[in-house]
């Protein structure tokens, strides 16, 4: 079996794919690929690679990784960088205090204004300010994958540390723990879709029967949060 050098194209694919995988550098990914498709990996051999192959290779090196993260890495390995060529959505004016009793919400996104990102692999977070009557896209925060970090999940959580709620298509247990440690409530929505639609639905929840943790985030007094509890019991 040939063990010649990697082509520049394949080396770039491996480097980009490794960035999407938790605690993974190119050397670790190459060890898995060696068992899955042999060395050197080529465009032809990677084209036939499947997620189950990545999970089973190298004695299950990636067996515990989230399916969505592996799918994102596999798409890159196959030559689909998944880069969204459309510009990120435009933000709307906002100053602190503009929207009383509002909360800040992050949405993991790869494309436009869609909720379609896995927490550990999303390229950006759309940040909304949401009240009972309106919502505004106030920021778009791009993940800097080139920044050195021993803990990518902690770095991503720090990027949205001012938010109270996080919407994701999927998130692993260890990553969720890092998010919760920042007092951010993760909400998994595996169907994804329009981030705007999620914010409209959240407006209704805030205006109707906000659960106590959301009422607290909105700055409601304890007695008001008790009322929310009683409303849920009586419903």
Tokens standing for 8?
A: 């520049």
Residues 72, 62: Cα–Cα separation, whole Å: 14
Please give the CATH number for the structural domain made up of 103-234.
3.30.420.130
Q: What is the pLDDT of residues 50-95, one digit of tens each?
A: 999 999 999 999 999 888 889 888 988 987 755 554 668 899 999 9
Check residue 66 and give its pLDDT: 85
Name 153's Cβ contacts closer than 8 Å, sequence gap at least 6.
Answer: 22, 119, 120, 174, 175, 178, 179
**Alpha-carbon distances, residue 135 vs 138, 140, 201, 214 (angstroms):** 9, 14, 11, 16
* Segment of 144-153, 154-163, 200-209, 215-224 carrying the highest mean pLDDT: 154-163
Check residue 13 and give its pLDDT: 84
- Partners of residue 193 on adjacent β-strands: 115
For 185, which DSSP code?
A: E
Residue in 61, 78, 79, 80 with CA at minimum distance from that of residue 21: 61
Tokens standing for 136?
A: 């505004």
Q: Where in the chain is the domain with CATH 1.10.150.590?
A: 8-77
- Partners of residue 128 on adjacent β-strands: 105, 137
- Partners of residue 140 on adjacent β-strands: 126
Long-range CB contacts (within 8 A, 24+) of 75-81: 76/13, 76/16, 76/17, 76/20, 77/13, 77/14, 77/17, 77/33, 77/41, 77/46, 77/49, 78/13, 78/46, 78/47, 78/49, 79/9, 79/13, 79/43, 79/46, 79/47, 81/16
Q: Where in the chain is the domain with CATH 3.30.420.130?
A: 103-234
Asked if 141 contacts 127 with a C-beta cutoff of 8 angstroms, the reply is yes
> Percent of the chain at pLDDT above 70?
85
| Rounded average pLDDT over 209-215 | 76
8-77: CATH topology is DNA polymerase; domain 1 (1.10.150)
- Partners of residue 186 on adjacent β-strands: 166
pTM comes to 0.64
Higher pLDDT, 16 or 164: 164
pLDDT, mean over the chain: 84
Residue 119 pLDDT grade (very low, low, confident, very high; cuts 50, 70, 90): very high
| Rounded average pLDDT over 210-229 | 59
Check residue 149 and give its pLDDT: 65
Q: What is the pLDDT of residues 161-204, one digit of tens each?
A: 999 999 999 998 999 999 999 999 999 998 899 999 999 999 99
């Amino acid at each position: 079996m040939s063990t010649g050098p990697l082509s520049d194209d394949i080396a770039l694919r491996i480097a980009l794919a490794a960035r999407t995988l938790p605690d993974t550098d190119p050397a670790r990914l190459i060890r898995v690929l060696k068992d899955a498709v042999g060395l050197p990996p080529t465009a032809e051999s990677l084209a036939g690679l499947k997620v189950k192959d990545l999970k089973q290779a190298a004695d299950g090196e990636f067996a515990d990784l989230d399916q969505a993260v592996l799918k994102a890495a596999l798409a890159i390995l196959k030559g689909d960088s998944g880069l969204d060529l459309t510009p990120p959505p435009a933000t709307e004016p906002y100053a602190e205090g503009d929207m009383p009793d509002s909360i800040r919400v992050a949405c993991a996104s790869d494309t436009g204004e869609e909720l379609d990102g896995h927490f550990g692999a999303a390229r950006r977070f759309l940040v909304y300010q949401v009240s009972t009557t309106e919502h505004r896209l106030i920021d778009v925060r791009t993940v800097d994958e080139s920044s050195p970090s021993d803990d990518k999940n902690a770095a991503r959580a720090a990027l949205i540390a001012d938010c109270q709620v996080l919407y994701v298509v999927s998130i692993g247990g260890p990553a969720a723990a890092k998010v919760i440690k920042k007092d951010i409530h993760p909400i998994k929505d595996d169907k994804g879709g329009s981030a705007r639609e999620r914010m409209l639905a959240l407006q209704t929840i805030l205006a109707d029967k906000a659960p106590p943790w959301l009422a607290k985030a909105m700055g409601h007094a304890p007695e008001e949060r008790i009322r929310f509890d009683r409303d849920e019991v009586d419903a």
